[in-house]
C-alpha cells in the first residue's frame, strides 16, 4: 500500500484526534484509538535505543488499556492537572497489509492549578497504524521519552 494523500490525511486526523482526546480528558475514549490486540508502551530513550525490553508502562491488548483507564478514573487519587500535546509532522512509511510505520515528535506540557506550566515529557512516537476502508487504528504505539525522569508519576497516557 502506498502513502497517498488520502492516507496522509487519515493519519493526520488520527493523531490530532488522539491528542485532543487526551488533552480534553476524555480518557474513556482513549482505548478506541487502538486495535483489539494493540501494544502501548512508554519507554525511556536509552532503553529503546539499546533494544532493552524494560518499559515504564506496557499495556498489551485493548482490555489492558481499558483497565488502565478504569484505574485513572476510579482508583488513582492525585492532584488534578491538564496536559497539552504538541505534535510534530508525521513521517510515514508504507508497510504491508495496510499497516503504516509512523514516527512523530511530541511535547507534553502539564499544567497544575496555581502553578506554572511545566514540560512533562518530550520525545517521539514510533507507531504502527492499520488503515482500512473504515478505520484507522494504532496496532503499536511506543512513546519514547527523551527526559531522564517523568515528574512525579505517569498517570495519563502520553
Q: Residue 68 has which C-alpha cell? A: 488502565
Least confident of 22-31, 66-75, 127-136: 66-75
Where do the structural domains in the chain lie, given as residue ranges? 5-145
pLDDT band at residue 1 under the 50/70/90 scheme? low
- pLDDT score, position 91: 98
Class assignment of domain 5-145?
alpha beta
In three-state secondary structure terms, 136 is: strand
Band (pLDDT 50/70/90 cuts) for residue 147 is confident
Neighbours of 89 (CB within 10 A): 10
Averaged pLDDT for residues 91-118: 92
DSSP string, 101-130: EEEEEEEEEEEETTS--EEEEEEEEEEEEE
Model confidence at 53: pLDDT above 70: yes
What pTM was computed for the model? Answer: 0.93
As a whole number of Å, the CA-based R_g of the chain is 15
- Which cell goes with 149? 525522569
Cα distances from 149 to residues 22, 108, 122, 152, in angstroms, run: 21, 14, 11, 9
Could you tell me which residue, 114 or 83, shows the higher pLDDT?
A: 83
Mean pLDDT (the chain, rounded): 92
The confidence score (pLDDT) of residue 156 equals 85
> Given phi > 0 = left and psi -120 to 50 = alpha, else beta, which region is 33?
alpha
Element (H, E) at 34: strand 34-44
pLDDT > 90 in the chain, percent: 73
* Residue 59: strand pairing partners: 40
Amino acid at each position: 500500500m502506498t502513502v497517498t494523500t488520502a492516507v496522509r490525511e487519515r493519519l493526520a486526523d488520527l493523531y490530532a484526534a488522539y491528542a485532543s482526546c487526551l488533552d480534553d480528558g476524555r480518557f474513556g475514549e482513549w482505548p478506541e484509538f487502538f486495535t483489539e490486540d494493540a501494544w502501548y508502551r512508554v519507554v525511556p530513550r536509552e532503553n529503546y535505543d539499546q533494544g532493552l525490553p524494560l518499559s515504564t508502562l506496557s499495556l498489551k491488548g485493548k482490555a489492558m488499556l481499558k483497565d488502565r483507564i478504569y484505574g485513572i478514573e476510579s482508583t488513582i487519587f492525585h492532584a488534578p492537572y491538564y496536559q497539552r500535546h504538541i505534535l510534530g509532522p508525521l513521517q510515514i512509511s508504507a508497510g504491508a497489509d495496510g499497516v503504516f510505520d509512523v514516527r512523530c515528535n511530541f511535547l507534553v506540557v502539564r499544567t497544575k492549578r496555581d502553578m506554572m506550566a511545566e514540560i512533562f515529557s518530550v520525545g517521539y512516537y514510533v507507531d504502527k497504524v492499520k488503515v482500512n476502508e473504515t478505520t484507522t487504528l494504532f496496532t503499536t504505539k511506543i512513546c519514547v521519552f527523551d527526559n531522564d525522569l517523568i515528574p512525579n508519576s505517569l498517570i495519563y497516557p502520553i
